Structure formats: structure tokens, C-alpha cells
Structure 1
């Protein structure tokens, strides 16, 4: 990648990988991606984390990154918001812990924390020190099938 990108190099790489995966191409190793894009491992990992949060790729411990299984294609953001409706949570109810969310959605703690911060920022969740997160407001949309 010879020119700096106004969007951020990792976002440009993420979009290129998203397109390749959608076309059915195999996901190269991190080392191969570093060579082909002439960037650091950190940049490649940031791109992969974006795709992981969107449900496009998943990390398999001991193996590396691979395209996500073809199950639920909603983004992690959408699935975590929809959980409020799917689990019939009301304002004031406890929201699941980070560990339970990681297990339920097969996502990394980093990705889950990013979405939780967004949900708090949008006023859907509130954090009470020592008690965890609670539902602060209900989503304004219905869960998608």
C-alpha cells in the first residue's frame, strides 16, 4: 500500500478482504497479508478485527483466521442489540456478562467490549460499578430474522 488512505489503511484492507471473502476466495495468512499490502501485523489485525465484529471472519485458536460459518450473518453489533428483544429484557434488567456474550456469539472480548461501549454511548445500556450492565432503554427496531 504505497499511498496513505484518508479512511485508514486498515479499513481499506478490511473492505478488500470483505470483497475477496464474499467472492469465495480463501483467507490468506496474516504474514501473506502483510506482504501483499506492505503493512505491519498490527494493521492486518485491526482489519481482521473489523471483519470479526461484522461477522465476516472468526478467529480459531491455534489455527488463525477463517471466513465465518454461514450461520447468522447479522453483525455483532446488531446481534447484541437484538439480544435485548430476543431475551425479552426490560429496562432495568441485567444484560449478560462479557464472558457470556463472548460464548454466545463466538466473538472476542475486544469485539464484545467495543459493541458494549457503543451500546452505552447510544443509551441502551448503563454500567453500575460492581453490578454489571443493565438495560437502560429498549431498541427502537424489531429484531431481524
Structure 2
């Protein structure tokens, strides 16, 4: 049985995702929420704390809780997060389609990127990410077979990182990223819903295991209106 605060969290988050509460709205006070949900203020505080941690609201001292924009996904610039982890609270709103799944001999450019020879095989996985019925991300992943000997379409549809960490026992360490703005390619326009858009955000990443072994090159192509790339910076 779910805790009371989880039920309250799910109720308020659903109102935000459904558009019944929009960005800039103030939530009712803790007392009002406690009364409307027949709960204690401590229970309400737990629900609000979780809503704040998950980016649904921002708590302002002395004013209350403000609803945040949830139509965009926050991609951490310096973090490593899978699409499944990013969208796990969206349920059926987020879908993944595997467009290409094959094992290839790397091209010269890919050999250079992954530090491989032409005889070393690479998994090529192209996936389209759909949210709320719109295809808005094109992920092109290349994984070195010597580190990932087995892969399936079903794994690619669910989460490659989850499989690597939980099934293969690999420890993903860090990534080097490059972010550029480019004109959409024919492939972008074929696979994504880009009508009216003349640019696309491209994130290229070299991903390393914890032992500094380079195992993945990925190119993630984003429709610019649905995403923002965030980071936390501190002046030294």
C-alpha cells in the first residue's frame, strides 16, 4: 500500500503534467493542502519535498510553492543519465522506437572516435524517442563489442545502461561531451517531427567505463523546443 504522501505527490504531479496546474501557478498553502487531502502538514511537507526534488515545483521561503515548466526535459550537461531514467515518471507518455540494430565494422571516423581497428566490431543502434505523440530525439549509439558482447532489440527499447550496469556488471564512469546547433539532415526530417524547425541540438558524447575504457560513442539529436541543457556551476 502506498504511503499517504506518495498519493499526494502523484495527485499533484499528475495535475501539473495534465496542464491543470501550469508553470507560474502557486500551489495552495500547506494548511490548505492538508485540509483538502485530509492529511497532516508533515505528510504534505514530504510530498512537497519530493515534488521539489523532481523538478515539479520550486519552494520560495515565505511565499509557497511555484509550479515549474515541465514541457521540457532537463538534460544535465555534466551528468550521465539514460532516457529511461529521465522519463521514468512519464509512463506511457514516453516511448522508444528502435530504427536500426546491427553489428558493423566501424568506418574510419568511428575507428578514430572509439580508438578501434577496422576488425573490431561495433553495435550500431539508432533509436527515436517519442514524448506525448511527438518524435523529438534521434539517438545514434555505437558500442564496442569487446565491452558489450551481447545486445538485443528489446534491451535497446528499454535501457542499454540499465542492462550494462545490472546484467553485465559494468560500471559507467564518465563522458566527454560536445554540444552544437546544426541544420537538420534528411535523416532527422525523416525520423523526427521537425515541421517548422530549422535547427537541431546535437550532443556528441564519448563514454568511458570506470576504468577509463572508451566503450561508446553517441550522437543525440534533439528538437530544440522540448529540451534545455542544465548544469550546476560554482565560481572557484
Normalising by the residue count of structure 2, what TM-score does the alignment of the two structures yield?
0.31
Query: As a proportion of its length, which structure holds more strand?
Result: 2
Q: Which has the larger radius of gyration?
A: 2
TM-score, scaled to structure 1: 0.47
